[in-house]
Amino acid sequence: MNDDAWKETLTPEQYAVLRQCGTEPPFENAYWNHHEDGTYRCVACDATLFSSETKFDSGTGWPSFSDVSTSEAIDLIEDRSHGMSRTEVRCRKCGGHLGHLFNDGPTLTGKRFCINSAALNFAKKSV
């Protein structure tokens, strides 16, 4: 989609995060303290990204995951903006900015995918 189509499809907050690499405020977003079983999907293209089984409380105020649903779901890009060296996480299907990956996670993977809620939709697990 071109930029105008993204602006029509996404809310202003979603557009700022997904298309302009923005970051939503910590502790003031939909999924940082969300505990239902299910799947987190890209809000822009509905690609499956993360499972609630890998979600953990990192204390940062953003949803954090120890792993992705499948490595084919994301692209990892070196990000040297804001005077830092970190790894940007993008949705492989639509190219939307999701958040960042840090190697300081408390789980066995040692990874912390710090993801913006504005980039996600949640699909509750069927019983």
pLDDT at 17: 98
CATH code for the domain in which residue 55 is found: 2.170.150.20
Instruction: Give the integer Cα–Cα distance in Å for 11 and 24.
Output: 13
Say how many domains are in the chain.
1
Please say whether the beta carbons of 63 and 31 come within 8 A.
Answer: yes
Q: Domain residues for 109? A: 3-124
The confidence band for 80, taking pLDDT boundaries of 50, 70 and 90, is confident
Residues annotated catalytic, as ranges: 114
Name the strand (E) or helix (H) holding 115. Answer: strand 112-115
pLDDT at 126: 82
How do residues 9-58 score in pLDDT, each as one tens digit? Answer: 999 999 999 999 999 999 999 999 999 999 999 999 999 999 999 999 99
Global pTM? 0.94
